[in-house]
């Protein structure tokens, strides 16, 4: 066997032992695939976190809008109730003032009728 053949034979013997070890290119490829997978996982995680944050923000915004709408509705209801109560009070006051004015007018009319009747009686007595 020549030295060249001997070298080839020893290389061929060495290969089966090295077959289990990844070559440098395979190792780089595996590292690159892992890096890409890690990047993809990180990107997906970030997207999911953003989606959840957006959902949370939308939920909070909706709750705040509902709270403000409820406050507005309650304020409008209170204002309407006050307006109706004020109208009712004004109507009752007007009715009471009319009743008192009617009483006063009736009293004055009765007094005037009594005065006229007294005058008539006095006149008749004088005649």
Q: Ramachandran region of residue 123, left (φ > 0), alpha (ψ -120 to 50) or beta? A: alpha
- Segment 3-47, tens digit of pLDDT: 656 555 555 555 555 556 668 899 999 999 999 999 999 999 999
Judge whether 1 and 9 are in contact, CB under 8 Å: yes
Rounded Cα distance between 32 and 36, Å, is 6
Domain ranges of the chain: 60-127
Entry pTM: 0.48
């Amino acid at each position: 066997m020549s030295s060249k053949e001997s070298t080839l034979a020893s290389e061929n013997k060495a290969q089966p032992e090295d077959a289990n070890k990844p070559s440098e290119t395979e190792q780089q490829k595996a590292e690159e695939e892992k890096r890409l997978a890690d990047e993809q996982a990180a990107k997906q995680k970030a997207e999911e976190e953003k989606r959840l944050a957006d959902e949370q923000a939308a939920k909070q915004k909706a709750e705040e809008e509902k709270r403000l709408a409820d406050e507005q509705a309650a304020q409008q209801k209170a204002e309407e109730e006050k307006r109706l109560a004020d109208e009712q009070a004004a109507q009752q006051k007007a009715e009471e003032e009319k009743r008192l004015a009617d009483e006063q007018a009736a009293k004055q009319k009765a007094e005037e009728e009594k005065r006229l009747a007294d005058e008539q009686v006095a006149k008749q007595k004088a005649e």
